[in-house]
Amino acid sequence: MGKQEVYVLNGPNLKRLGRRQPEIYGSTTHSDLARLLSGWGKDYGLDVRFQQTNHEGEMLDWLNDAADWSWPVVLNAGAWTHYSYALYDACAQLTAPLVEVHISAPSKRPEEFRHTSVITPHAAKVIEGEGIDGYRQALEFIAAQGAH
């Protein structure tokens, strides 16, 4: 039996990790995160497919693929978290676990708009404020759920 496929999807501006507001998002770069995810995936017996986009339609296509293939998803939707009803609808169709991840803790940020997530109603788990380690925790959670 092969490894469980899992999508790790990052939304807008996350390719700028390590350069964008490091006081909030840390110094780990997007490339560093890709390497970490690959290693963590191996540790947990998961085949991680890591993607980032600044284009909402592309994110929707990946979520549709995850729905079609019953793949678990780790999703950091960035700013789309707070207002994208298209992402809300795409997440609603997922049948494998969805883990919502945020490097910072949006619920504790000063901007009121960050306190709402349209992803949370569909998430099996929400991890926020754990920095980059939140992605590892998400993979650990998915691995513990077993093959879907």
Q: Are 123 and 80 in contact (CB under 8 A)?
A: no
**Residue 89 annotated in ligand binding:** yes
Task: Let me know if 25 is a catalytic residue.
Answer: yes
Q: Are 70 and 148 in contact (CB under 8 A)?
A: yes
Rounded Cα distance between 132 and 124, Å, is 19
Task: Let me know if 83 is a catalytic residue.
Answer: no
**Catalytic hit among 7, 44, 88, 102:** 102
**Residue 104 annotated in ligand binding:** yes
**Residue 64 annotated in ligand binding:** no
**Residue 115 annotated in ligand binding:** no
**Catalytic hit among 7, 25, 44, 88:** 25
**Residue 109 annotated in ligand binding:** no
**Residue 49 annotated in ligand binding:** no
Burial class (CB in 10 A: 0-12, 13-18, 19+), 133: middle
Instruction: Tell me the backbone φ, ψ of residue 91, rounded to 5 degrees.
Output: -70, -30
Instruction: Tell me the backbone φ, ψ of residue 48, rounded to 5 degrees.
Output: -85, 125
Which residues sit in the known binding site?
A: 76, 82, 89, 103-104, 114
**Residue positions in the annotated binding site for substrate?**
76, 82, 89, 103-104, 114
Indicate which residues carry an active-site annotation.
25, 102
